[in-house]
Amino acid sequence: MPLPPICTTFEPYFLLSDERLQDIVNHFRKEMEEGLEAYGKDVAMVPSYVTGVPDGSEEGTFLALDLGGTNLRVCEVRLFGQHKFELKQQKYKVSEELKEGEARVLFDYIADSVDAFLTEIGSDISSNEPMHLGFTFSFPVEQTAIDAGKLLTWTKGFNAKNAVGNDVVKLLQDAFDRKHIHVRCSAIVNDTVGTLLSRSYQSGPALIGAIFGTGTNGAYIDKTRTVKKLGEDKIKEAEAGGQHAGEFMVVNTEWGAFDNGRKCLPVSIFDNKLDRESINPRKQAFEKMVSGMYLGEITRNILLHLIDASVLFNGYSSKTINTHYGYDTAFVSAVEAAKSPEDVKKLIISQLGVDPKHISEGDPEIVQWACRMVSERACKLAAAIIVAVVQHTGNDKVPEGEEDKGVDVGIDGSVAEFLPRFAERVDETFKILLGEEGGKRVRTGLAKDGSGVGAALTALQAKKAMDRRTEKDSQFVPGKKGYNK
Ligand code: GLC
């Protein structure tokens, strides 16, 4: 059945033309450069003080803590070398009250969860030394060292008071100390940095680690010298072999905040509504079009609009559709995976709670259309942002005289994992933006458990640096030759 004409008026905001995509790539490259030059920019480009990626030979047992996705996760990670690891984990729910209450209460809860984990699961780490813990804290943090950094702003529905501006490692360590828990937080790591490290540990050197989950963000390897805002002294110190010696530095882009100024992203009335009703209006503009926390909500706004225009469900809504964040991205994925309009109709009844008597013959197709629009745009934007990073580092071309090893991107998160055809759609867009051959050179692969393994690897790097401040033969190897020209 043909779609109601009102639908087609919204398509340009979702079916992005090649030119528009290219424009988005260029804008992001510009914002990356701005963030590398100065502090306080929308795209924060946070230096992580991680100076390379692992080669898979690393060994040791570490605790890892992961805050910033759906749950709080506490893990014990055993790195065996030879690219192998084992992970024991326990998930703990973070209630809305904790997310929006006092930071001290949130951090006490985190410390209690670590304590409960150590008691319930038992730990293989036996020593009088405090246990080393890597803290995957997946929010924008302005890091000043591998184990220090101030929270810049909350994202993804968190809004705990008295945390912004404070050192997150200190907030956690104080909570451990208050409770006499013998654990030392030796590294703070963003989940994207963790994903980059974990992908490299498991399957060889990667250039980018990206999350397409509740939120979205990416980290990549750059030349320390490119992070101009560090200042010439710090850069020289790093290059000459200071505390964080390294020609290379992993940079956490915080690309979720790309185009907060709305200069190039395709902002529809549905995106505006979502933003206005969010707890962080005018922030995380890119994230709100791409990540799992929001894709369901954008389609809900579209469906509501079509219901109000009386072209869907005969003008009747349901309690679920009327509820803010009434359903999540899993619905979009389920519709995208549905084989027939009959299957979509079943989902509309079971998951959206629409009364079957209000569902007309063409309605399932309209719902399918809305879900497809929103998913297509998310996948294209995901690909565009990766292409911008590849171009920024010069890796869109094969370095002269070198073998072409392509570019590897480790990816994690519920959208990447569960949204049907995510990887295919991203690959198609790579080819649009980089050409057939250029597009094929960029390979993405799921790097599961990035936040656990990555935190352990970062804790290892921090511990080694602590044990022997001047050690030169760190097991961490600098970014693959040719990544940074
Ligand atoms: C949000 C956070 C960022 C994190 C991303 C994915 O964008 O600000 O730090 O990496 O979500 O979890």
Q: Render each residue's pLDDT in the chain as its tens digit; 485 residues.
A: 789 999 999 999 999 999 999 999 999 999 999 999 999 999 999 999 888 889 999 999 999 999 987 789 999 999 999 999 999 999 999 999 999 999 999 999 999 999 999 988 766 556 677 889 999 999 999 998 889 999 999 999 899 999 999 999 999 999 999 999 999 999 999 999 999 999 999 999 999 999 999 999 999 999 999 999 999 888 887 776 555 557 899 999 999 999 999 999 999 999 999 999 999 999 999 999 999 999 999 999 999 999 999 999 999 999 999 999 999 999 999 999 999 999 999 999 999 999 999 999 999 999 999 999 999 999 999 999 999 999 999 999 987 888 899 999 999 999 999 999 999 999 999 999 999 999 999 999 999 888 899 999 999 888 877 775 544 444 444 444 332 22
Q: Which residues pair with 151 in a beta bridge?
A: 141
Q: Establish whether residue 136 lines the binding site of ligand 1, counting it when its CB lies within 6 angstroms of any ligand atom.
A: no
Query: Which atom, in ligand 1's list, is nearest to the CA of 284?
Result: 7
3: DSSP letter: P
- Cα-to-centroid distance, 11 and ligand 1 (Å): 28
- Cα-to-centroid distance, 224 and ligand 1 (Å): 22
- Cα-to-centroid distance, 260 and ligand 1 (Å): 15
Q: Output the six-digit token pair for 267.
A: 């902002």
Give the mutation target among 150, 191, 278 for probing the ligand 1 site: most ligand atoms within 8 A of CB: 191
Residues marked active site are found at 156, 191
Q: Output the six-digit token pair for 431.
A: 């080819």
Q: Establish whether residue 215 lines the binding site of ligand 1, counting it when its CB lies within 6 angstroms of any ligand atom.
A: yes
Overall residue count recorded for the chain in this entry? 485
Q: Output the six-digit token pair for 168.
A: 């997150």
Task: Look at strands 46-47 and 59-67 and give their pairing.
Answer: unpaired
Residue closest via CA to ligand 1's atom 12 equals 215
Is it true that domain 1-48+204-448 has CATH number 3.40.1280.10? Answer: no
Contact 194, 450 (CB under 8 A): yes
Task: Look at strands 72-81 and 59-67 and give their pairing.
Answer: antiparallel
For the entire predicted model, the pTM comes to 0.92
Q: Output the six-digit token pair for 119.
A: 């008691």
- Cα-to-centroid distance, 252 and ligand 1 (Å): 10
Give the mutation target among 136, 143, 155 for probing the ligand 1 site: most ligand atoms within 8 A of CB: 155
Between CA 485 and CA 477 the distance in angstroms is 17
Q: For residue 33, give Cα distances in angstroms to 36, 160, 380, 406, 480.
A: 5, 31, 22, 24, 22
Q: Which residues contact 34 (CB under 8 A, 6 or more apart)?
A: 41, 43
Given this structure, which CATH class describes domain 49-189? Answer: alpha beta
Number of H helices, E strands in the chain: 17, 13
Task: Look at strands 84-92 and 131-137 and give their pairing.
Answer: unpaired
Q: Establish whether residue 450 lines the binding site of ligand 1, counting it when its CB lies within 6 angstroms of any ligand atom.
A: no
Contact 86, 79 (CB under 8 A): no
Between CA 74 and CA 109 the distance in angstroms is 12
Q: Establish whether residue 396 lines the binding site of ligand 1, counting it when its CB lies within 6 angstroms of any ligand atom.
A: no
Between CA 380 and CA 369 the distance in angstroms is 16
Terminal CA-to-CA distance of the chain, rounded, Å?
53
What was the pLDDT predicted at 478?
Answer: 41
Q: Where are the alpha helices (DSSP H) in 338-362?
A: 341-352
Query: Which atom, in ligand 1's list, is nearest to the CA of 155?
Result: 8
Q: Where are the alpha helices (DSSP H) in 179-253?
A: 191-203, 232-240
Residue-range domain boundaries for the chain: 1-48+204-448, 49-189
Q: Establish whether residue 213 lines the binding site of ligand 1, counting it when its CB lies within 6 angstroms of any ligand atom.
A: yes
Give the mutation target among 139, 220, 252 for probing the ligand 1 site: most ligand atoms within 8 A of CB: 139
Q: Establish whether residue 140 lines the binding site of ligand 1, counting it when its CB lies within 6 angstroms of any ligand atom.
A: yes
What was the pLDDT predicted at 481?
Answer: 35
Residue closest via CA to ligand 1's atom 1 equals 215
Q: For residue 145, give Cα distances in angstroms to 43, 409, 446.
A: 19, 25, 28
What was the pLDDT predicted at 2?
Answer: 87
- Cα-to-centroid distance, 255 and ligand 1 (Å): 8
Query: Which atom, in ligand 1's list, is nearest to the CA of 139?
Result: 9
Residue closest via CA to ligand 1's atom 2 equals 139
Neighbours of 24 (CB within 10 A): 25
Contact 418, 333 (CB under 8 A): yes
478: DSSP letter: P
What was the pLDDT predicted at 124?
Answer: 58
Q: Output the six-digit token pair for 360.
A: 């007309």
Q: What is the DSSP string of 320-345?
A: HHHSTT-S-HHHHHHHHH-SSHHHHH
